[in-house]
Amino acid sequence: MDLKGKVALVTGAGRRVGRAIAIKFADHGASVAVHYRSSHAEADAVVAEIAGMRGKARAFRANLENVAEIEKMIAGVLDAFGRIDILVNSASVFARKPLTQITERDWDATLDTNLKAPFFLSKFAGAAMRRKGAGKIVNIGDWAGTRPYKDYLPYSVSKCGLIGLTRALAKELAPEVQVNCIALGMVAPPDEYSKREVERLVSRTLTKKMGSPEDVARAVIFFCEATDFATGATLALDGGRLLA
């Protein structure tokens, strides 16, 4: 897919990994729908940065726990840009809590944002892509979907489900739409992680270094621009952590 003139919707695009992905799409000539939930100022800053690159972007707010808001956002993007060619499901809830303290609300908030939302976003956006005859969906996963993290049970389950969702959607949306997943390792540690904790995690990789949001953005571009042959695949982008 030639990204020039295409429209990419990136969820959670105001900060961190989502922001890097949005900027990368603009750099490759795509117009960008910048989704946010509460990071309004950050999303506006991304839109402004893309405008400074002479690109096109617009911010869209939606609570991804609410399917009606998801559908409204997709309609808004289609109304603003006329099409959706690419969807990147980047928004994610990542909360540490021991099993004994997990509540129903914790479970629902995590699974709704990390798994249910990507399904409904893909359902609505995928229909628009198929009408145009082509499209790309990239889900941002985690290697915890293969090897769960301790004290992150709902998160790990959601990322395991996302890998399965990727495969199922690849079948459902074929042949027009290719759906792939990127299973991340340590690329942007949470703010609450101590320096010692980050160093310990990095030491457990084969590369002995931290990844970056830019690494993720380049992998997303690979699935969108470099090949139309990959679908249903999950790319491990974890510095070799799964093998270590």
**Burial group, residue 126, by CB count within 10 angstroms (0-12, 13-18, 19+):** buried
> Catalytic residue at 155?
yes
Residue 148 region by backbone torsions, left for phi larger than 0, else alpha for psi between -120 and 50, else beta: beta
Q: What is the CA radius of gyration of the chain?
A: 17
Q: How far apart are CA 244 and CA 219, in angstroms?
A: 22
Tokens 């499209």, residue? 135
SS3 content of the chain, % helix, strand, coil (to 5): 50, 15, 35
- Tell me which of 36, 149, 155, 193 is the catalytic residue: 155
Query: What is the torsion angle, in degrees rounded to the nearest 10, for the CA atoms of residue 115, residue 139, residue 33 and residue 76?
Result: -40
Containing 180, the helix (H) or strand (E) segment is strand 177-184
Annotated catalytic residues are 155
